[in-house]
Amino acid sequence: MPDLLSELCIFFNELADNRIQPAMGFPVDAAHRLAQYYLILRDKKEENFVGLEIAFREFISEFGLPLPINFLDLLREAELITSPRDLRKEKQRDHYVHTLHAFSLGVYLFHRAERLQDMLLPENRSLDWSQWAFCALLHDIGYIAENAGTKQIIVLNRFWDLIFQPTSILSFVSNNSDVPPSIELELSHFRKDVYGRLSQNFGLVRATDKSAGTDLFEEYVSIPIDTFEGGDHGVKSHFILQLCQCICEEFMVYFENHEGNVRDYLYPRTNPWHRFSNAMQAIQAHCKPANLIHGHYMLNPWINALHLVDELQDYNRPFLSPSYRTNTARPLRIDDIDISVANSILYFHYPSSNAVRINDALGTITTDSGICVQAK
C-alpha cells in the first residue's frame, strides 16, 4: 500500500490536472503549488521553508483571506526565537510547518472520505475552499503568544505593529494591500483614533522587561494578560483573529461616517469577516475534547473537520526543544504512514503509539467521517 507522501504527490498532481472526481472546485494554481511542494519533499526528504513561506503568502491571496500576506511569518518567527528556557512544555512542537500540512491533508480528505464530503457538502459538490484555508492556516496563530519570555514579547509587539500598518488595515477590509497615496493621511488619522480604544477594549497592557527595570517597548501595546497566560491556544488564536476583525469593523464604521478618498475608494463594500464566522468558531473550539464537540458538524461542519485534521496531522513536526530532540526517537514522518481504502472507508495506518493517541483524541469523529486509524 502507498505511504501518505506518495499518495499526496499523486493526488495533487491529478488535482492540478483536473483528474480528480468528484470535482470540488479547488483552485488549479493552489493544486500546482501543493504538488510541487510534495514532490520536493519526496525528493529531498526535508521541509522547504522557502517554499512554505511562498505558499502561505500565495494562499492568503489566492483564497481571499482578509489578512496581510506576511501574517503567518509571525508564527515562524515565534518558533525560531523560542529557546528551551522559554518553553512552557519541553515537548512543544512545530506549528508553522503543521499548518500547511494540515491544509493539504484536509484537501485530500475532503475529496477521498465520502462521509466527510457529505458533512461538508450536503446539497452539492462545490466547496468554499476559503473557509478551509482560514481554518487550517490560522488555527494555531495563537502560538505567537504561547511563551512568556521577553523574546516572545518582541513577536507580540511585531504583531501589534503589523496589524496597524496602513497596508494591513486595507487587507483586513479588502484583501488589497496597495495603499494609494491619496488615502495615506486618512488611514493615519484612523490609526490614531482606533489604536487607543482597541488597546483599552481588549484589555491590553504595556510590555516591560522587568529584568532591566525599564520599559523597552513603550511605543507598543502588546500583551492581553488574561487571555495569553496559559490556557487553550484555540482561544488565543480566536482572540488574535477577533482583534483583526474588530479593526475591520471599526474601519467600516469610521469611513461610513467620514467623507473622503477612502470612502470613495472602498465603498460600497461588505465586511469580509462575516463570511468566516463558522471558521472562527472552529478555530476557537479545535482544542476542546472530542466528546464536547461531537455532533456539532450538524450546525458547523468545520468544527469536526478541523479537529479531525489537526489530530491526524501528526507528522513532520519537529520538537522545538534541542534537549528533547536529542533524547527522543525520530519524530513521525509523513512516509511512516500508509494509506488504503476498503468498503468506502479511508484507512490511515500509523505506528502503534501514534494510532492509539489519535483514536483516543478523536473518539467517534473518525468513524463519523468515514475514516479509520489503525496501528501498523
Lowest mean pLDDT among 154-168, 207-221, 233-247, 286-300: 207-221
Task: Delimit the domains of the chain by residue range.
Answer: 4-375
pLDDT(57) > 60: yes
Q: In 12-23, which positions are buried (b, 16+ CB within 10 angstroms) versus exposed (e)?
A: bbebbeeebeee
- Cell numbers 497566560 correspond to 229
Query: If you average pLDDT over residues 9-27, what whole number do you get?
Result: 91
Lowest mean pLDDT among 7-11, 222-226, 263-267: 222-226
* pLDDT tens profile 180-238: 777 777 777 777 777 766 665 554 443 333 333 333 333 333 444 444 455 577 888 88
pTM for this prediction: 0.86
What is the DSSP pairing of strand 223-224 with strand 338-342? unpaired
Per the CB < 8 A criterion, the answer to whether 303 and 139 are in contact is no
Q: What is the pLDDT of residue 292?
A: 66
